[in-house]
Structure 1
Amino acid sequence: MTDRRTRIAEAGIRILAARGARALTHLNVDRDLGLAEGSTSYYARTRRDLIVLVVDRLATRTGDDLAAHDVPGDLTPRTAARLVVAGLDDTMRRADDHRARLILLLECHADPELRASLATRPRMREKFARTATSMLRKLNVDDPDVHAQDLAGLVDALLMQRIVRAAPIDEEDIIAAYLTGLAARTP
């Protein structure tokens, strides 16, 4: 992505997070960046092209937030839950990215290609899945690879809960209960 395309995408993220999907227009991006009217159209001809720039930027910025913490050798469901919550805390440093992603998931529901790019975030999910698999192995959970994907889904749901600021919940208790239940199922 060229520097101008990156700036346009980042402006799109800011606009989506602050003002919603309808505010994501070429004109609003031009204004946000202090560009001459019509400048954004040179890099993104259509609104879909503009959304693609934003989606691509979001994909490149997804990273190691949830997988950045080392998994200690002596692990319990409670300590694992604390690690996951610490990862959620870290990832919320990019709250605008997550708000923009949620808005675009709703906006792009009829566009399978964009929806898939937003929903799967393959790089982040793979890194988290490796960390989750390691945690589950240390907790002696059967089929850790399978359950790692489920844990990733649970964490994604908790992240969305934070973004929409719904009713307060105890994330650590939820994750610890889930992990305790998995560990108890193991013979």
Structure 2
Amino acid sequence: MSTREPSAGPASATDRRTLIADTAIGLVAASGLRGLTHRAVDAAAGLPAGSTSYYFRTRTALIAAGYRRLAELDVSEVPSSLPTDRDEAARALGTLLHHWLTAGRERQLARFELSLEAARNPELEPDLREAGLAVRARAAAVLAALGAPNPQESAELLAAWTDGLLYDRLAGALAPSRPTPDPAELTSTVRRMLDAVLGTSAQDPAAYHPGPGSP
């Protein structure tokens, strides 16, 4: 492989790496890992031949770049302002899940593909772990603001349930027959998840849902 960067205009190295990572994500979403090659990325990104291999010498390095980029994008989309109550948190996360199931659908499919590959490849484990810790840290901050007695433990549960919901809606056995994702339904589902990880009490009026005949 060449050690000289192919000429491709004035874009910076950082911009070129980001373009390559984004293109790799798109290829994985469309064709799975079998569609991810250095040449395919060069062609899809409109870069001179050899550009991808210049920045990411091995396929493992290319996969790691894609996974890091996915984690960066996912974390950047989690609202930075902390919610003041469960309803606000449920709306925010429900909106985010709706985005990931619609406009961000391909990216989430690529994340599942790359996560499985990272779980099999010891060289990719650090990137998988770092990405997971970043998402859980953001979730723990939200849950702490909502009064969770053990935010980190609650964040583990919320992350697991969220991933399970995304996988079920995108790649589960019933995914092809499911209706278009509905923001209100997702918000309601998230509210139930939050109530489960935070606990409910009679002192929390928003968490009290009286049934028929209740006072």
RMSD: 3.1
In the other structure, the counterpart of 1:11 is: 23
User: Of the candidates 77, 84, 89, which is equivalent to residue 98 of structure 2?
Assistant: 89
Amino acid at match of 1:25: T
Mapped to 1, the partners of 2:150 and 2:51 lie a distance apart of: 52
**How far does residue 87 in structure 1 lie from its aligned partner after superposition?**
2.8
Amino acid at match of 2:92: L
Summarize deviations over 1:83-141 as a string: whole Å, max 9, x none. Answer: 32123234454333322111111223311342452365232321122112222x1xxx5
The two structures have a TM-score, normalised by structure 2, of 0.67
Summarize deviations over 1:39-60 as a string: whole Å, max 9, x none. Answer: 3222222211211221232233
Higher Cα Rg: structure 1 or 2?
2
Is residue 137–residue 152 contact of structure 2 (8 Å, CA) maintained in 1?
no
The equivalences for 1:167-186 within 5 A come to 168=178, 170-181=185-196, 182-184=198-200
In the other structure, the counterpart of 2:145 is: 134
The two structures have a TM-score, normalised by structure 1, of 0.76
What secondary structure, in the 3-state scheme, does the structure 2 residue paired with 1:71 have? coil
**How far does residue 13 in structure 1 lie from its aligned partner after superposition?**
0.8
Is residue 133–residue 148 contact of structure 1 (8 Å, CA) maintained in 2?
no
**What 5-or-longer segments of structure 1 have no aligned partner?**
none
Mapped to 2, the partners of 1:69 and 1:39 lie a distance apart of: 39
In the other structure, the counterpart of 2:163 is: 156
**What 5-or-longer segments of structure 2 have no aligned partner?**
1-12, 204-215
Summarize deviations over 1:59-97 as a string: whole Å, max 9, x none. Answer: 33232433346523xx45x66433321232344543333
Amino acid at match of 1:133: A
**How far does residue 22 in structure 1 lie from its aligned partner after superposition?**
0.3
Amino acid at match of 2:190: I
1:32 aligned onto 2:40: no
Deviates more, 1:102-111 or 1:34-43: 34-43
More helix by share: 1
Mapped to 2, the partners of 1:112 and 1:58 lie a distance apart of: 19
Mapped to 2, the partners of 1:30 and 1:5 lie a distance apart of: 12
- Relative distance call for 1:98 and 1:120 in structure 2 (3 A) is farther
In the other structure, the counterpart of 2:117 is: 107
Mapped to 1, the partners of 2:79 and 2:128 lie a distance apart of: 19
Aligned residues: 180
What secondary structure, in the 3-state scheme, does the structure 2 residue paired with 1:2 have? helix
